[in-house]
Chains A and B, each alone.
Chain A
Amino acid sequence: MILEEPVDGRFGDFGGRFVPETLVPACEELEAAFREAWVDTAFRAELAAALRDYAGRPSPLTECRRLGERLGFRLLLKREDLNHTGSHKINNVLGQALLAQRMGKTRLVAETGAGQHGVATATAAALLGMECKVYMGAVDVDRQALNVFRMRLLGSEVESVQSGSRTLKDAVNEAMRDWVATVGNTHYCLGSVMGPHPYPWMVREFHRVLGDEARTQCHERLGGPPDFVVACVGGGSNAMGIFSGFVDTPAALVGVEPAGGAAIGRGVPGVVHGMKSYLMQDEEGQVLEAQSISAGLDYPGVGPEHSYLASIGRARYEAVTDAEVVEAFQLLSQTEGIIPALEPAHAIAWVARAAPELQGRTVLVNLSGRGDKDVAQMMDLLGP
């Protein structure tokens, strides 16, 4: 059974609100505010206008003729890379920032891995005149220097997080610590379908727009849903966005995790960052450090709705290696003239590997972001 919204904050056994007592009232307040805003036509119209006039929605659907021919199936890309700020992240951030403003909050805090969510949050803060602080693991600050500069240029403070594995999970910890101390005037603008209720549900709803668009576009182009809908999964927000447009159709849903951060592939249920979900951990419950070439997917957990979709068999989850991702990054660049971010390059890597299974079918990939941010890293790896 597919859930329109979680029941008591849960998708089946997953989700919940495992936060310090200090944050319980804030989560309750946020849930109430979101419920109220989401049925308010004025709020919906304000968000729709921002998505259209500022972010550039709707994003196009592009058919990959050369790559499709080479792989033996029709391949379509939902072009979230063409949004303002370069990824799907802006959909959620505009929603949360407008909601925060409606709630009377004047400050945003956010975590970021690759920097895409941080840049999007910094952008929304600049647009709405809000104060903004972004937490980013020190490892990611090094490998995504360009995005760090962009956030600062946009007027946000960026703090390099030195604790733990110094990547995305530690940035989440630090953002939560900030929120515990500043909850009066601050909204935690969480960047994925994870965290305590209502975030997994709310963030999915803010990304639903891309799934709804893709459904309409597929109907026009293909006469119905594609056979496969494929998206990369770290926390899983771009995947939940596109899955939400097709979950009630016969389309097969495929989430692609990095081999070194495969929460569903290698994890067992656990509780961290406010949610119960699949989690890479040791036998005593210490959270393991993910290892991925992609800063945006370098996360040992996953959003609870993905755990639910996996547990009921509605979506399947596959893992690809860093080497396959680097190959896919070049493949899409060279066959279609589209340089993908390393994150959606995971989805491309899987469809390339699974080509024998996909022969003659129609395959929709959510191209969740563009690769400009990764070009320097790839230049170091591949040579100038």
Chain B
Amino acid sequence: MTAADNGRKGRLETTLRARRDAGRKLLVPYVTGGLPGWREAIGAAAAAGADAVEVGIPFSDPVMDGPIIQEASQRALASGVTPTGVLEELAELDAGIPVVVMTYYNPVFRAGHGRFAGALHRAGVSGAIVPDLPLEESAPWCEAADEAGIETVMLAAPTAPDDRLPRICERARGFVYSVGLLGVTGERSSLAATATDLAGRLKAITDRPVLVGVGVSNAAQAQEASRVADGVIQGASVVRRLMDGGPEAVGEYVAEVRAALDEIAAEISY
């Protein structure tokens, strides 16, 4: 075990581990920062039983995102939203649950690693996901993030050979993001077989919470993924509801998925 495993866990990992260890399946909805109603949506999600929330910082070139989150990012950018603006608004918000920021790497690099990590810390953010920063390129950011107490969530993909996964799990803080399929974010009609395969491979080698994201599109798919994983991240299905129906629609949806996850948690524990 590394030093970081022993006791210096941040709020995100502490919260998720405690809830998982109490028999709960974890639910982390994603909202695009800066969309109309995004802060209210975080509040609604927290009230409906989300365990943490992921906030996307809109970026001009979101290569890991499919049409819905691309559109959300473009809408936010077109209305003048900036990374700084999103963090300022986050600082004023007390969601009551840990906040993880999802940002592409260039805004981090442009600001400077230490400066960006400090800004996240001041905004009350617990963790960060940087989807275009793979393990080999991650050291400068991860060191700055560790220093500032920001937990960097690492992604693991279905294409990873077995010898790569332990290194990803070791570097991950908060939780391990198990990418559900080969492809970008977006809703799919069924859960890919890769989702449970990879989650199973990760669960076998790490004690950190393993959450499946990308292509987990509804309550039934969340249940299916969580029979193997510790829980799910849901992005496009949440963002679509925020754009179409507003924060209330997000709250209703999170409540529905929460109930579905509680149902299988009960099954598994008996």
Contact = CB atoms under 8 A, between A and B. Distances in A.
A18 B183 contact: no
A177 interface: yes
Interface stretch (A62-70, A179-187, A343-351): A179-187
A183 B182 CA distance: 8
B107 interface: yes
A42 B59 CA distance: 45
Interface in A150-172: 163-164, 169-170
A17 B134 CA distance: 8
A180 B105 CA distance: 18
Interface residues of B, number: 42
Contact of A20 (B108, B109, B155): B155
B190 interface: no
A164 B157 contact: no
A18 B133 CA distance: 5
A40 interface: no
A181 B111 CA distance: 31
A20 B63 contact: yes
B66 interface: yes
Interface stretch (A22-30, A210-218, A355-363): A22-30
A177 B109 contact: no
A180 B64 contact: yes
Interface string A266-286: 001111111010010101111
- Main SS of the interface on chain A? mixed
Contacts of B111: 284-285
Contact of B59 (A19, A23, A268, A286): A286
B228 interface: no
A71 interface: no
Nearest to B214: A22
Contacts, number: 118
Contacts of B15: none
B160 A21 contact: yes
A287 interface: yes
B182 A271 contact: no
B83 interface: yes
A273 to B, nearest CB: 8
Contacts of A101: none
Given A182-B182, A285-B83, A169 B61 contact: yes
Nearest to B177: A21
A200 to B, nearest CB: 15
Nearest to A288: B60
A288 to B, nearest CB: 8
Contacts of A24: 134-136, 157, 159-160, 164
A16 B182 contact: no
Contact of B110 (A19, A20, A163, A283): A283
Interface string B4-23: 00000000000000000000
A184 B157 CA distance: 13
Contacts of B107: 284-286
A270 B109 contact: yes
A176 B63 contact: yes
A173 interface: yes
A170 B64 CA distance: 13
A276 B132 CA distance: 12
A169 B63 CA distance: 11
Given A22-B179, A181-B184, A286-B59, A281 B132 contact: no
B156 interface: yes
Contacts of A173: 61-63
B183 A17 contact: no
Contacts of A169: 61
Contacts of A26: 159
B74 interface: yes
A148 B107 CA distance: 34
Given A182-B182, A271-B106, A286-B59, A177 B159 contact: no
Contact of B60 (A180, A269, A287): A287
Given A21-B157, A163-B74, A286 B60 contact: yes
A281 B63 CA distance: 17
Contacts of A25: 159-161, 164
A19 B134 contact: yes
A37 B183 CA distance: 29
Contacts of B158: 22
A18 B109 CA distance: 12
Contacts of A273: 61, 63
Nearest to B59: A286
B133 to A, nearest CB: 6
Interface string A167-210: 00110010011001111100000000000000000000000000
Interface in B5-54: none
Contacts of B157: 20-22, 24
Nearest to A182: B182
A177 B60 contact: no
A21 B154 CA distance: 9
16 contacts: A20-B157, A21-B157, A21-B159, A22-B158, A24-B134, A170-B61, A177-B184, A180-B184, A184-B182, A271-B105, A272-B106, A281-B110, A284-B107, A285-B59, A285-B108, A286-B77
Interface of A: 16-26, 163-164, 169-170, 173, 176-177, 180-184, 268-274, 276, 279, 281, 283-287
Interface of B: 59-64, 66, 70, 74, 77, 82-84, 105-111, 131-137, 154-161, 164, 168, 179, 181-184
Closest 4 CB pairs between A and B? A285-B110, A181-B183, A285-B107, A22-B157
Given A26-B159, A271-B105, 18 more contacts: A19-B132, A22-B159, A24-B157, A24-B164, A163-B70, A164-B74, A169-B61, A173-B63, A177-B184, A181-B183, A268-B110, A269-B109, A271-B132, A276-B109, A281-B106, A284-B111, A285-B59, A285-B107
